[in-house]
Structures are given as C-alpha cells and as structure tokens.
Amino acid sequence: MSNAAISFPVLGEVFSINFPATFSVLGITIHWYGVIIAVGFALAVLYGMARAKKFGLTQDNIIDLLIFAVPLAIIGARTYYVIFSWDDYKDAPVNIFKIWNGGLAIYGGIIGAVLGAVVFSKVKKVRFSVVADIGGLGLLIGQAIGRWGNFVNREAYGVKTAVAWRMGLTNEYGTFYYHPCFLYESMWNVIGFIILHFYSKKRKFDGELFLLYIAWYGLGRVFIESLRTDSLYIPGTNLRVSQLVALLSVILGIGIALYVRIAKNPEPEDLWVNRDIKNFVLEQSKAAESVPLTELRLNAEAEDFSDALRLLRHGTDPDADDALSEKSSETDITAPDAGVADDNNRDPEKDDQKEDI
C-alpha cells in the first residue's frame, strides 16, 4: 500500500492524492516520514523553550534535556518494537539497526525519554517531575504531528469500514476503505495538548501534567488500538501490547494524581517554579515573624516577588497593595525595606511630639 492513492469520500468523489513517500536531494533519498517527525520534534522543543520559565527551568535546561533524552528515546522505541517483533529479526539481527526501514514504538520511546529525563534530573539537580511535566506537553505536540508521517507512508490505518470519514487506498486491486487511525490519534493529541496547556497554569503539583498526559494518551490509545491491523501482540497471546500498556497508563495516571491531590493536599507554593519565592518568604518570615507560610498562596505564573513581598510586609490586607511598587526592584528582593516593621509599630503621639520640637 506504500504507493497507493489516498482518498477521502467525505471531501468529494474527485478528491484523490498520490505522492511518493520519499524524495531525493543531491542523490540522497529522504523519507517524508522522517521530515515530519523532525518538524514535530522541532515544534515541541520550541514550545518547551518558550515555556521553560513558567516551570522554573531555563532554555539551556531544555537543550541539555534533549542531549540526555533523545538518544535513549530512539533506543527505547526501537528496542520495544524489536522485542515484540522478534520473529522478524531473529534470522537477520543486523536489521535491528536499520531503523530507516521503520519499526519504532511510541511507548518504548516514552520509556526511553523518561529514563533520559531521570538521568538529566540527577546530573543537573532539577526536580524530575518538573521535567516530566514540560516533556509531556512536548510529546503531545510531537505525536500529533508525527502521526502524519504514518499518513504519508500509508500505514497505521485501521480495519475496513464504511463510516463517512473513511480513508480510501487505491492500488492495482481496487479501492479499499479503512479507519484513518493516524487522524484519530493526531486529533486526540491536539485536543489533549490544548487542555493541558491551559490547565498547566492552574496545576497543583509538579508531575501532575505528566500523569494527566499518560492518562489522556492511554485513554485514546485503548480505543484507537482496537481498530488497528498492525498491532504488536504479547507472544503466545491475543493481547495487544499497546492496549495493555495504555490501560495501565490510564489507571496509574489518574490513580496517582488523585492520591497526591487528596492525601498530600499540595499548595502552589510547593511548585518548583516558586522555590525561590518560598525560600525568600521563609527566611524573611522567620526574621520578621510577620506572616505564617500557611497564609501564602503564591501564583504558579508569578514572574516577580511583589505578591510575596506584599504578604510579608502587610499580611493579607488588600488595601496595603499601594505600599509596593508594581515591580519589586532587586534591592527590595535582596534587602526588604527595614523600615516597614518600624512604621507599623510607630506611636503617633511620639511623632507629634517630634514634629512640635
């Protein structure tokens, strides 16, 4: 089917496209699948760099993460596929290394990327759950775009169907209609990305986004995988590997997220992005004995210390906002106004006496 013409009856009977899965540049054969994967990867990286600050990371952190995660992701994706397709490689093991011929499994890639993120976190002393959160958002982008590589290759489609949005593949034997599973998964990932992108601004704890990512992706994959005709199976059984892993992902993702929310009762000030603000307030609160930490509710999207300083200096009184400038200066951060506490304890009668003198 790699050279079949593609049609979608819902777009009209005359709609049909037929293009090669490869093209040549200076005599070098390049696969469109690889180009599309590269585009998805690049957009995921750009997104991660654009939002790094909102997670308490730097753009250099994102680049360093790629150095650790990408090689292991490729190795994991290939290893996972080979393990469950061993009959295709046992007679010619050298073909294991020919990844340009296809044979990468997304779950293996995710496992490899997670291992790379763990190593990165240990080496760079960054909280792993934070890296996992921003990585999960990036994965949704990469997967949503990468699935169109399956479209170009005329692969990863489902069983035959007569639904209105069916995809037709035409070869010398005729036209056959299938579920466009690549499209289902791409759309599912786009929806998941939009939801988690906006929810990330209200996340309760580090790691929550990644847990929701694996739950969301797993939920979609459970149903989509049941339609596919090229699934990997557990040897000697009729169990689809991806369906089983997807189901476990849903259970673990939702289960752990609910446990942390209920049992741990996390607060925004515990987010990695707020660590500097929290430490600063703790230090100043101990010194001035002004505002208990339990009264602080820091915003995960805060870009300065103004809210923390307002609470530190004036408690929770909203009328005291005018006492601070719109942006806290470096001087305010490193050395809060020592006269604030004195001003609050000043005796008006003594002030009048000084003025009279």
For the segment 326-357, what is each residue's pLDDT rounded down to a tens digit?
A: 444 443 444 344 444 444 444 544 444 444 43
Residue 261: pLDDT over 60: yes
Q: Rounded to the nearest 5 degrees, what angle is found at the Cα of 196, between the Cα atoms of 193 and 202?
A: 155
Please report how the helices 128-152 and 106-124 are oriented relative to each other, as an axis angle in degrees rounded to 10: 150
Residue 319: pLDDT over 80: no
Which helix (H) or strand (E) covers residue 36, if one does?
A: helix 32-51
User: Per-residue pLDDT averaged across 188-200, rounded?
Assistant: 97
Which helix (H) or strand (E) covers residue 122, if one does?
A: helix 106-124
Residue 187: pLDDT over 60: yes
Contact 309, 288 (CB under 8 A): no
pLDDT for res 314: 47
Residue 24's φ and ψ, nearest 5 degrees, are -120, 140
Tokens 């080979």 appear where? Answer: 82
pLDDT for res 85: 85
Question: Measuring CA to CA, how many Å separate 193 from each of 180, 199, 217, 262, 298?
Answer: 20, 10, 10, 25, 25
Q: Rounded to the nearest 5 degrees, what angle is found at the Cα of 105, between the Cα atoms of 101 and 106?
A: 130
Tokens 């013409």 appear where? Answer: 5
Q: Give 112-132 pLDDT, tens digit per residue.
A: 999 999 999 999 999 999 999
Residue 31's φ and ψ, nearest 5 degrees, are -90, 130
* Neighbouring C-beta atoms of residue 143, cutoff 10 Å: 22
Q: Give 279-313 pLDDT, tens digit per residue.
A: 777 777 676 655 555 554 444 444 444 555 454 44
Tokens 């939801």 appear where? Answer: 195
Q: Residues in the chain, how many?
A: 357
d(CA 39, CA 34): 9
Closest CA to 193 of 174, 212, 172: 212
Q: Which sequence spans correspond to the domains of the chain?
A: 5-266, 290-356
What pTM was computed for the model? Answer: 0.77
pLDDT for res 287: 67
pLDDT for res 192: 97
Q: Give 4-59 pLDDT, tens digit per residue.
A: 999 999 998 778 888 888 888 888 888 888 899 899 999 999 999 999 999 999 99
Percent of the chain with pLDDT over 90: 50
